[in-house]
Amino acid sequence: MSAEKIMPSHAALDVSVLITLLGDDDPALIRKLLEVFARSAAAIAPELTAACRAGDAEQVALLAHKLKSPARTSGALALGECCAALEAAGTARAITEFAALLAQFTVEMAAVQTALAELLKQPID
């Protein structure tokens, strides 16, 4: 059975992006990579939030960059774009942009975490 049938995409998480990269013949591998992404994102998100609130532009750029590629690769495209915007703001030291970008990041991150939780609770046959 293909991974796409087992792990359908959600609005916040287009699993077909990851499946396109890896192929759909190994649902267990897809699940494992999504689990790794879920743990990594859950660890980075509070650090990124704290850096934004502290106005630490260097940390914002670093953490946003660290989350951007895994988000995009996993199919969390809106989250990846949010991270790209945060990274650019951090690099430019545009601290005044942090609040609005953090609000957007928080919404996207919550949606991705919800989608991941739903996907990862489904059994693989």
User: Has residue 49 been placed in a domain?
Assistant: yes
Full-model pTM? 0.87
Please state, rounded to an integer, the average pLDDT across all residues of the chain.
90
Residue 23 phi/psi, 5-degree rounding, is 90, 160
With respect to residue 101, please indicate whether it lies within any of the assigned structural domains.
Answer: yes
Residue 107 covered by a domain? yes
- Domain presence at residue 95: yes
- pLDDT score at 53: 97
Measured over the CA atoms of residue 111, residue 92, residue 46 and residue 121, the dihedral's sign is positive
Q: Which residues of the chain have pLDDT under 70?
A: 1-10, 124-125
Domain that holds residue 11: 3-120
Residue 116 is predicted with a pLDDT of 94
Q: Please state the domain count of the chain.
A: 1
Rounded to an integer, what is the distance from CA 75 to the centroid of its chain? 8
pLDDT at 125: 57
